[in-house]
Amino acid sequence: MRCDIFSLIEMGRNKELGCFILKYVTTPYEVVILAEPKMLKLANKLLKEAANDPRLPQLITYDTTFELVDVYVSALVLRNTFVEGDPIFPVAFMLHERKFAEVHKEFFWTLHQHLDLSSLECNVPLCVDRERGITAAILSVFPKANLVYCWNHILQHVKTWIKASTGRTTDDVTVLRKHISTLLEQTTERDFDE
C-alpha cells in the first residue's frame, strides 16, 4: 500500500474524487476510509427512520475481506428500507494493511463524525463476525451497541472447530452444521429450546 499513498494524496486533492476520502492515516498503520457523500446522506435518513420506528427491519453489517490484492477491505453496509425488499447498499469502506482493533476503531470513530449511529444504542443491530478486534473496536466507540453475529461466520467457525477438535468426517460436519442452522432458524426461544 505504501506505493499507493501518493496516488491517494493526489486523489484527495482532486475536487471530484477527493470528497470520497473521509480520512487517510499513514502512521502508525496505513488506513484509508472512503464513502460517497450521497450514500452517507441516505444512510443518515435511514438510521433516523429506524431510530424513530423500531418496526423497521434495519440492520447494519460490517465485514472484512481477506487480503484483496495487498490490503484488506472492510465495508459497512445498510438495508435500504425505503425500497421494496430492503436491498443492502455500501455506505463506507476502509482499506487497511493490518487487522488490528485500533484500525477498526479508527474506522468507527471516523464514521461517528459523519453518521448518526446513535440508533446502534437503541434498536438497530450491527451484524459482525466474531473477530475480537472488531467487536472490541465497536464497543469502545459505541459501548451500548447491539452486536449480533453473522450466521455464515458462525457456521464457518463451527466447521473449523469440529474438524480441528474432534477429527470428525466431512459427513459429520455437514450434519452438525445442518443442526446448528436449524437452531438458528427458530423464531422463538421456546422453539429453539425444543
pLDDT single digits (tens) 47-90: 988 888 877 778 899 988 876 677 889 999 999 989 999 999 99
Bridge partners, residue 188, by sequence: none
Helix (H) or strand (E) holding 31: strand 31-34
- The residues, ordered by sequence, that sit 6+ positions from 74 with a Cβ below 8 Å of its Cβ are 62, 63, 64, 65, 93, 94, 96, 104, 107
Instruction: Locate the domains of the chain by residue range.
Output: 2-149, 151-194
What are the tens digits of pLDDT across the range 78-93? 999 899 999 999 999 9
Tell me what pLDDT residue 68 has: 65
Across the range 147-176, mean pLDDT stands at: 72
Overall average pLDDT of the 131-136 stretch: 89
Between CA 51 and CA 121 the distance in angstroms is 9
> 170, exposed or middle or buried, with CB in 10 Å at 0-12, 13-18, 19+?
exposed
Distances (CA, A) of 141 to 99, 123, 124, 184: 17, 17, 16, 29
pTM for this structure? 0.78
Q: Are 184 and 154 spatial neighbours (Cβ–Cβ below 8 Å)?
A: yes
Q: By three-state DSSP, how is residue 187 classified?
A: coil
C-alpha cell at 129: 463476525
